[in-house]
Amino acid sequence: MTAPAPVPGLRHGLVLALDQASPTPLYLQLAEQIRARVADGAIRVGEAVPSERELSLIGGVSRVTVRKALDLLLREGLLSRRRGSGTYIAPRIQQSAALLAGFSAEMRGRGLEPGAVWIERTAGTATPEEAMALGLDLGAPVVRLARVRTADGEALAIERATVPTAFLPGPDSVAHSLYEALAARGFEPARGLQRLQASLATREEARLLGVPTGAAVLRIERRAYLPDGRAVELTRSAYRGDRYDFVAEVRDVRSGPQPRTGS
């Protein structure tokens, strides 16, 4: 099969070679061609994907076919859609499971602008589960913070944190970063423990994250502690499975003391 000539004026000569006679549906061929163009660098991570109209002209297929291919790649996580901006090649985020860092610091370290959409900012009393996790008396005062965490405007995770008011006086004490707010009061976490579990997005989580219901999510429960051992934070998060990889160093047990794990 001979590759078609580039369409003049469209995305610096991008070529997509689809076989109309193949039994493979055209939208699957187009999705595979886009994957290949990302792999060979013709479209780079972070770049905008050509519009539906451009891809239709380049590939010689209908816009319905293009839409089906893009929807497939969005579900896979190869692409991300930014409201009012377009569709982009999405980088996967690799985050260490052995470093204690907040979301804002992690995103800034990757050159991304962290943000948040607030779901809840309230004060209340600790539930039995929260009291046990945080080492509090039942009914002790706590602050609850729930928000969708974003990077460059894209929703990546849902975080629900509970913090004793001994460390955070009120829900309005956090403007952007919880860890920055704690550090400003002299209560910066020194270590943490976290549990990871693969799961599927509920309907509400899917709505907040902009993914299909039942999409893969990574659930993380984190407990952070001060140097004196007091628990300062209990956070339960749901991270998009199509955008996040959590990595951890492993060592032979005979190689010496193991590093502490945290978040």
pLDDT tens, residue by residue, 74-124: 877 778 777 667 787 776 666 655 566 677 777 777 777 888 899 999 999
Q: Which amino acid is at 128?
A: P
Closest CA to 171 of 192, 141, 209: 141
Question: CA–CA separation, 52 vs 228, rounded Å?
Answer: 57
Closest CA to 34 of 61, 9, 23: 61
Own/partner contacts of 137-142, CB < 8 Å, gap of 24 or more, are 140/164, 141/165
Residue 206 binned pLDDT confidence (cut-offs 50, 70, 90): very high
Judge if pTM exceeds 0.75. no
Residue 258 token pair: 């193991």
Distances from the Cα of 194 to the Cα of 56, 101, 222, 244, angstroms: 46, 12, 4, 16
Residue 10 binned pLDDT confidence (cut-offs 50, 70, 90): very low
